[in-house]
Amino acid sequence: MAAKLKVAVLGATGYSGLELTRLLLRHPQLEKPALLRRSEDSANGKGHVNLADIFPALSGNGSYPLEPLSWSSLKQKGVELLFLATPHEVSRALVPEAVAQGIRVVDLSGAWRLKQDQHRAIYGFKDADAVTAAELTQKAVYGLPELNSDQIPDATVVANPGCYATTVILALAPLLKSGLVDRERGIIADSKSGVSGAGKEPSSRTHFVSVADNLSAYAVFTHRHLGEIAEQLQLSTNEVTFTPHLLPIPRGILSTIYVHLKQPLQAAKIETCYRDFYKGKPFVRVFANPKLPEIQFSLNTNYCDLGFCLAPDGERLVIISCEDNLIKGAAGQAVQNMNLMYGWSEEEGLL
């Protein structure tokens, strides 16, 4: 029997990190993952010794020790793959160190997603070694399996996509690749996410009194995922108006995308376009027209659900795209990328 892969997770104490840990623990091709904490967290009084101390739901199912991050210890354990569920600037600093140690990385942050300087500028990274960072930026593969499954297997660094970006890119890619969209008339992406999409660290915007019985827009024209959407779809940011909103629910994303078509089409043509594009892609479900996805259909799964409505004139199209932001939008997609990196079925450990 082949030896099981040894992996590690840094950032298991966050929402996406917890979901990732749960998926890795049940993955048949893996040993129990090593769970890591940064030494800075211990110095600041944030160091926990057991993940179950933070998430009591794990209690009674064994021990989940959080070990200090040590490259020598990871090498000694035989860890081949490191998952980073860490803040953007932390991932930006750690990935070059991991690669230098011969460890592959799946990074759930936005640190390595963007190739173009004007899009990456929003993060304000100050790289200690600008030359190495520039090289890794170009080598990192954008980890959207439905678009980049040919590049992911050989990647050293996989940049896991953003949650909003995943829903918008998957909704638009078939239409744009087929040349059906009238780009001159603009594309509107109106996206709504549950509060977990903002991360575990609380803020005035994500407090219960701000979110409950409310719906709010934020980061209009300035959200980090706009650059991802533009780069992956080969659009300019002037061609896409992307507006994120905060829903008073724990998790889930619904994106409504509005486009004009170059010429009138029948709904059957649109549906065929989607089904042909995603044939053999197990985690995109195309709904038969006129049925539309809802957030509840994809919760706790790694599916992105797509559906559409075509106006009577045949030229105006509305696409609905739904996913669980913590699974297909983060942890599940990270596992899907790992499966491709090691030659396993994309569905391994995800169904």
Q: Which residues are catalytic?
A: 163
Give the phi and the psi of residue 241 in degrees, each rounded to 5: -105, 110
Record the tokens describing residue 140, joined without a space. Answer: 């990192």
Alpha helix ranges (H) inside 44-116: 51-54, 71-77, 88-100
For the chain, what is the radius of gyration of the CA atoms? 20
Q: Which helix (H) or strand (E) holds 49?
A: none
CA nearest neighbour of 172 among 65, 255, 263:
255
Strand 81-84 and strand 216-217: pairing?
Answer: unpaired
Record the tokens describing residue 63, joined without a space. Answer: 């021990």
Instruction: Dump the DSSP string for 227-256.
Output: HHHHHHHT--GGGEEEEEEE-SSSS-EEEE
Alpha helix ranges (H) inside the chain: 15-25, 39-43, 51-54, 71-77, 88-100, 117-120, 130-139, 145-148, 163-177, 208-211, 225-233, 267-277, 295-298, 332-341
Sign of CA dihedral 87, 88, 93, 98: positive
